Every structure is written in structure tokens, then in C-alpha cells.
Amino acid sequence: MNKAQSSKPATRSAGGNTLAAKLGRLGLKTDADLILHLPLRYEDETRITSIRDAQPGVAAQFEVAVIDCEIAYRPRRQLLAKVSDDSGTLLLRFLNFYPNQQTVLQPGSRLRVFGEPRGGFLGEEIIHPRFHPVTAEEVLPDRLTPIYPTTAGLGQSTLRRLITRAFDRVQTSAALADTLPESLREKLGLQKFADAIQLLHHPTPDISLDQLETRGHPAWRRVAFDELLAQQLSLRRAYAARRQKGAPQLPGSAQLTTALLRELPFQLTGAQSRAWREIAADLAEPHPMQRLLQGDVGSGKTIVAALAMLQAVESGYQAALMAPTEILAEQHYRKLAQWLAPLGLDVVWLTGSLKKKVKLAAIEKVGAGETAIIVGTHALIEEGVEFARLGLAIVDEQHRFGVRQRLALKQKGEFAHQLTMSATPIPRTLAMSYYADLDVSVLDELPPGRTPITTKLVAEGRRDEVISRVHDACKSGRQAYWVCPLIEESEALQLKTAQETYERLVAELPNLKVGLVHGRLKSDEKAAVMAAFVNNEVQVLVATTVIEVGVDVPNASLMVIEHAERFGLAQLHQLRGRVGRGAAQSACILLYAQPLGQTARARLKVIYENTDGFEIAREDLRLRGPGEFVGSRQSGLPLLRYADLDDVLLVEQARAAADELLQGDPVVVERHLKRWLGSREELLKA
Ligand code: ADP
Ligand code: MG
């Protein structure tokens, strides 16, 4: 790749097969990108091992002469080369090979071969070793060989050559200069950037392979810090920019909030009071609140939202609450209407499925400012809906909205205070890292009086027992959910299964009323079934995962999840959280089909052993890694390639450094972001 090519954006068309296209897939466009493309691991080719000392399963390098090379059919066509040194012989086996490989493997050729020997049918062998011809006295490399992440059709040797050349070109340029001020670097005891990067690409053999590969080496620490710093800088800068915007001050009068608190049949938990205080203080500020309210299922986020809405109303503004599904939005609506009616407040309900006339009337009310509290689905942010004076926008489970909807919300609520709520608890370092553009309030305490939920793992063969358990629970006045399997490939199939399960349960539980709810029902049908379940007119609710978030029916004490092995941890936790909301002893039965795969087994074990959402989230993070964990929220954010979020101290240091640099050192900020986000930002948007 020459200079001209390197500054030109690579085509990223799916079929693009030029070198630039392949590099583009890896996000490599410039010399600076290449230099930041760090090895996954290393191979030690600085030493030669005698064949006699070869150990099965331990990668090593041998210097050999080819004795014999043939194409064999046993039973598949393959290339076999017999090689030897002074101490013994080895077999090299290639199941795929090119004619030119065969040419190199001519009897008499001298080779260096690298790979993992194992005991084979014909003696010691290596399958698909790396090898290259050498002359008699060829010197050994004095550096470990880096193995880079790559893409189909781009070989290690090409990548290595490109990176080495990039290094040669940038020796004196800014691409290797330190972005950190010297004082900061020294304070944190970090290596120089150029030293760290050089070392990681070309480590000398005296450096412990283990320290390199587990990324415990100080050079990795420098890189991880840089990356975390870039993430913090970009998110904290976005945070600061939004803070520059104006928003109405909503100090409230405490009149309505006090009245609501007095009327509630319960007291706020300590966590709720704390979150409420933080939110109340934000609302009084002249710039928009950017806060995330995080709390496990059942931790009581809704009442905190209601209090915030009332403070906006007290200050003469409107407040809107938006939820990702009709069922959830409707439930918020009911709850708020019930709480606010005694205060003489009207709640407007707005969703796409309303009859046209009703909907227009609702929109009219919102636009005229006649009504202060609005609850709905994304219908709230559709075109044509104009708020007279929106002061506060609350979004429940924001991650479940599409990108377009989130954008629309952003525009609509640009000058309003924003509160998002999430029931996905995430570990602290992850929050500190990925949510650095938000203030976070955490409800880390459940309301009192909840009885712990018993979780049972039951193989599918024992379904009859489960049905009789449902029967008993309902006969004693309780209710049950029966969640149908998630079928990711086909919504139609999922629907069919739900329908069949419903029919079967109707037949098997003749003296109970069974209801069915799924995503394809018309919203008034859905609402009717949910209302019947809330009123205990339906005892068993068969449901697809539409009930995943937020449904609150305290009398339900039994949750059955079919094919639990297909669900993710967060989902299982959410579903289980639908029960255990009243005083009755509750249970969650996870029906699973055998045989269980390894991950499914691990997941079920976690959910069986843990009830704390944060603990489950930590395990989930461990099983899935952070990228998948935080999902699509991060479009346009640097994915962390090298930093490990287990390192709390480093994340904290990066945050502190970011805030300091944003305060006083705009040049450093620019320089650092350019290096770490530079052309990657575009890749991430794709
Ligand atoms: P989530 O955080 O999952 O949205 P909800 O707001 O739906 O939780 O609250 C769950 C249930 O707990 C509701 O029935 C709610 O009325 C009740 N609740 C909330 N706060 C308290 C509290 N401090 N004491 C007792 N019950 C509470
Ligand atoms: Mg909720």
C-alpha cells in the first residue's frame, strides 16, 4: 500500500477483493491505522527445536530437509511431506494445498517449519505447518513473530509486510509521537506510545510470551489506557456539548410530588429516594438532564418516573413517557392514571393503534398544552405530534427502540430534560465506560416484602408435572405465565408454536381460564387479554416474549419458560422478574430440551444459581464479551479492541484524565481522538 492508496478510502463493497478492500474490512486505511493494528498473539521463531525434543501440542520451529513428498489419497487427496533433521523425522500433512507449495517441498529442500506436532498414524506429524525455504546459514529472527487479526484472503505475511512498511514510513512523523502530555504519562506510570507500539509489534524473545498474550505487559497497559481515554474523551465531549444547550428549569413546587408520596400505599426505598433526589436536582438546572435510571426488574422505576413527571408539571411544563411496546406503555398509562387521578391530573394515552379520531383528539390536546402528562409508544414522536411545552421526556427500555426512533426522539426532545430507564443492570466498569455520556442513577435495592423466587430446571419430559403445578397454583388463587419458545428464524413459526401451546393448555386445564398474547394481536385484543389477566379473569397467560419487559401483575406467582435454553441470560432474568412481585412464594420453572449445548448449559447454571441482576450481568459479560453485551447502543463509538474492562483502576484513570484534558487541553484531546477514532469512526458507523 503506497501513500496515495493509503489516504484513499477503501471500498467496502461486500465483494470487494482488492487489497484495499480487504484492508478496509479491517478498518485499515492509513499508516496510522496499520500501526494500531496489534497482534492477537505471537509465535516464537527465534529458536530451532530438534525433532527429538518435539512435544505434542506445543508449537515449535524445526529446521529440516525434505526427504520425500507425495500426493496421497487416504482417503482424501492430501499432500504428505516427510522431513528430517539430525535427530529424527516428521511428517507434514496438507489437506489443502497449492501447486507452488508442492514445488517448494521438493526432496532436498531446506525448510524452517513452524507448527504443533502431534502423534499421528504414521508417527509424529504436523498438520498445515507454516514453512518457508531457507539457505544453510540463514540467521534466525531476533523478534517474536506477530500474528495479526485478519480477514479472508489476506495472509499474515502480507499484513506483516504492510505494517513493517508503515513503520518505516512513519518513523519521524506524528503517527508515532505521544499524544499524552509528558506529565500525565509519568504520573500514571505509562510507557511511551512509540515504545509500547514497537514492542507489541516486534517483541524481543526475552519478553514473556505469557505476559504478552494475557495482555499483562506494560505495553498493553499503555495501549488499553489510550483506547479507554479515547472512548472517554468522545463520550464526555458529547456530554459536555449537550450540557451547553439550554433547557427550561423545572424546580417544581413539591406540591404534587408530596401529594403523590402521601397517597402511595408504600414508602420509597432508600435507593428510590436517592435516585429521585438526583433527578429532582437535574431538573432544576438550566441545561438538559442526561440521566439513565438503572434498576433491576421490580426495583420500582415507575414511581421515580412519576415523581419526575410531576415536578415538570408543577413547573408548568409537559412530561412524556414513552415505552417500546404497547403492553408496556399501556401498563405505565394505567399505573400513572391510577396514581394521578386523586391529584386531579389527566393522563393522555397516545399510541399508533388508536382510532383515528381518538388519536387526533389526543394529538390536539398535546399540541394545545391542555394536558401535562402523556404516555405512549413511539407514536409520541411521530410526525404531526407537537408538544406545546415539553419539559421532560422519559424513555423506558430505550435500547429496544430502533435507531430512527431514537433519532426522532432526540430531535423532539432536544431542549427537554431526558431520563432513560433500563432494567438491564450492567457492571460498574462497563457503565463507567460505555455510558460515560450519561449520568447514572442506580436502584440497587428491591422494595421490601418480596419473597425470593425459587428457580427450577426441569427437563421437557416432565412437562406433565409442570402442568399440574400450574393447576395447583391457580387453584389456590394465584396466576401463572407460560412463555413460549423464542424462534429466532421465524416469527410465523413462533406464532404457530404459541397457538399450539395455548390450545394444548386449554385442553389440559379445562377448569382454568387460559389466555394468549403475542406480538401479532391487534392492540385492543392484546389490551383485552392483559386486562383480563390483571383482573384474574384469566389465570394462565400463554405468551411469546412480548411480556418480556415491564409487565406487573403481583398476583402471578408462577412463571414457566419453555425451551429456556434458547433464551439469553438477560431475557431469562427479565422474564423471571415478572413473578415474585407479591407476598406469595413464587417460582420460575425453566423447561429445557436435551441435549444442552455448552453455552446453554452455562447460561442455565447462572440463572439457576443467581437472582441478583448485577451478578447475572457480570456473568453475562463474561460469557459474551462487552461488544455484544451493550449491543447496538454504541453506533459511532469506538469499540474497545484492546482494553479489558476488568481493570477498574485503568477505567477510572482514563475517566479522570479525560475530564482534565477536556477542561484544559483541547489540542491534546484532538490529537488523541484523531489517532484512536480517526478513520475507525466511519467503520463503526457502517
Ligand atoms: P420496574 O423497576 O421493574 O419498572 P415497577 O416500577 O414496575 O418496577 O415496580 C414494581 C412493583 O413494585 C410495582 O407494583 C410497584 O408499585 C411496586 N413498588 C415500587 N416501589 C415500591 C416500594 N418502595 N415499596 C413497595 N412496593 C413498591
Ligand atoms: Mg418497568
Nearest CA to ligand 1 atom 27: 447
- What pLDDT is attached to residue 622? 77
pLDDT tens column, 556-572: 999 999 999 988 888 89
Q: Which three cell numbers stand for residue 142?
A: 531476533
What atom in ligand 1 is closest to the CA of residue 304?
Answer: 6
Does residue 12 contact residue 686 with C-beta atoms inside 8 Å? yes
Of 63, 79, 69, 62, nearest to 106 by C-alpha is 69
Higher-scoring residue by pLDDT: 68, 433? 68
Min mean pLDDT across 104-118, 200-214, 635-649 is at 635-649
> In Å, what is the CA distance from 269 to each residue of 203, 574, 668?
55, 21, 44
Task: Provide the strand spans (E) within 54-164.
Answer: 60-73, 77-85, 88-94, 110-115, 118-120, 123-127, 130-133, 145-147
- To the question of pTM greater than 0.85 for the whole model, the response is no
Q: What is the chain's length?
A: 686
269-443: which CATH topology? Answer: Rossmann fold (3.40.50)
| Local confidence band at 633 (pLDDT 50, 70, 90 cut-offs) | very low
Where does residue 369 fall: left (phi above 0), alpha (psi -120 to 50 degrees), or beta otherwise? Answer: left
Residues with CB under 6 A from ligand 1: 266-269, 272, 295, 297-303, 423, 447, 550, 552, 554, 581
Highest mean pLDDT among 303-317, 491-505, 606-620: 303-317
H-helix segments, 577-611: 598-609
pLDDT tens column, 640-654: 788 877 788 899 999
Q: Distance between CA atoms of 140 and 162, rounded to whole angstroms?
A: 21
Nearest CA to ligand 1 atom 16: 300
170 CA from centroid of ligand 2 (Å) = 54
| Strand arrangement of the beta sheet that strand 130-133 belongs to | 118-120, 123-127, 88-94, 77-85, 60-73, 110-115, 130-133
453-610: which CATH topology? Answer: Rossmann fold (3.40.50)
- What pLDDT is attached to residue 2? 39
Average pLDDT over residues 156-172: 90
Pick from 292, 552, 575, 578 the residue to mutate for probing ligand 1's pocket: most ligand atoms within 8 Å of its CB.
552
Does residue 323 contact residue 349 with C-beta atoms inside 8 Å? no
Domain ranges of the chain: 1-40+159-177, 47-140, 179-246+653-686, 269-443, 453-610
Ligand in nearest proximity to the CA of 323 = 2
Percent of the chain with pLDDT over 90: 54
Q: CA Rg, the chain, in Å?
A: 31
Per CATH, the number for 47-140 is 2.40.50.140
Nearest CA to ligand 1 atom 5: 300
Question: To the nearest whole number, what is the mean pLDDT of the chain?
Answer: 87
| Local confidence band at 404 (pLDDT 50, 70, 90 cut-offs) | confident
Percent of the chain with pLDDT over 70: 93
Q: Distance between CA atoms of 215 and 195, rounded to whole angstroms?
A: 16
| Local confidence band at 12 (pLDDT 50, 70, 90 cut-offs) | very low
Of 190, 186, 187, 183, nearest to 227 by C-alpha is 190
Ligand in nearest proximity to the CA of 301 = 1
Q: Distance between CA atoms of 544 and 532, rounded to whole angstroms?
A: 17
| Local confidence band at 681 (pLDDT 50, 70, 90 cut-offs) | low
Nearest CA to ligand 1 atom 13: 300
Report cis status (omega within 30 of 0) of the bond before 286: no
Ligand in nearest proximity to the CA of 302 = 1
Local structure of 512: helix, strand or coil? coil
| Local confidence band at 10 (pLDDT 50, 70, 90 cut-offs) | very low
Average pLDDT over residues 47-53: 93
Nearest CA to ligand 1 atom 20: 300
Does residue 678 contact residue 32 with C-beta atoms inside 8 Å? yes
Domains 47-140 and 453-610 share a fold: no
Ligand in nearest proximity to the CA of 579 = 1
Q: Distance between CA atoms of 645 and 427, rounded to whole angstroms?
A: 10
302 CA from centroid of ligand 1 (Å) = 7
Strand 540-543 and strand 514-517: the pairing is parallel
Average pLDDT over residues 599-604: 91
Task: Tell me which amino acid residue 499 is.
Answer: Q
- What pLDDT is attached to residue 632? 41
State the sign of the Cα–Cα–Cα–Cα dihedral 97, 100, 102, 105: negative
Is 313's pLDDT higher than 70?
yes
What atom in ligand 1 is closest to the CA of residue 267?
Answer: 23
Which residue in this structure is represented by grid cell 431514537? 406
Residue 666 phi, psi dihedral angles, 5° rounding:
-55, -30
Is 514's pLDDT higher than 60?
yes
- What pLDDT is attached to residue 82? 95
At a CB cut-off of 8 Å and minimum separation 6, what does 185 contact?
178, 192
pLDDT tens column, 59-69: 999 999 999 99
